Amino acid sequence: MTKDWLDFIDKSEAGTEQLLPPRIKGEMTTSSVAGENDLPFQEPPLGTYSLTGKALVDHVNHNQQLFKAEVDGNEDVYKYKLMDAKFVGRGPFEEEEYLYEDSDGADIPESFDARVQWPECPSIRNIRDQANCGSCWAFASTEAMSDRVCIASEGKRQVLLSADDLLSCCTSCRIG
């Protein structure tokens, strides 16, 4: 069933016309993926948008036949990669046990702040957002190198090295 594009113009009370997709208007739509069958638009049940995991997969599979959704099992890995503070320490990875040598603490100051120690190096204050990029090594390396150049030159050379530039030479790295 083919509809004329004029069927999708909504005339608002203000007299302006807006082109609306048919599903917003709640009309019949034509889906070429489903074999040109007319599929009615249905509002999702209340609470649908808060489904996750198996409940979401079951809902998707029950309400459509175009593909089969499955729980992938890597949900914790994906959440961990979001780098959101609420997921810190909740990754699927076991925490390592750290062994410490006894020290009398003579060489360790009670507090240390690199921003105070080297105020002429603004790169020390920068925290770059790598988001879901798997190349933490590139971000950490370029940030540390930028800081070291500034510190070694006593603030005379201030550079912000680019993690993107470091990654650009590797075409097989994909996301990390």
Residue 159 lies in a domain: yes
Residue 140 lies in a domain: yes
Name the band, by pLDDT with cuts 50, 70 and 90, for residue 139.
Answer: confident
Q: What is the pTM of this model?
A: 0.39
Residue 17's beta-bridge partner residues? 11
Structural contact between residues 79 and 72, judged by C-beta atoms closer than 8 angstroms: no
Strand 17-19 with 9-11, pairing: antiparallel
Residue 127 lies in a domain: yes
Q: How many independent structural domains does the chain possess?
A: 1
The fraction of the chain above a pLDDT of 70, given in percent, is 52
- For residue range 58-101, list pLDDT tens digits in order: 989 999 999 999 988 777 777 666 666 665 555 555 666 666 66
Residue 4 lies in a domain: no
Contacts for 69 with CB less than 8 Å, ≥ 6 apart: 56, 57, 60, 61
Average pLDDT for the chain: 71
DSSP structure class, residue 38? E
* Domain containing residue 156: 114-167
DSSP 112-132: --HHHH-TT-GGGG-----TT
What sign results for the dihedral spanned by CA atoms 56, 62, 67, 72? Answer: positive
Residue 37's beta-bridge partner residues? 31
Residue 118 lies in a domain: yes
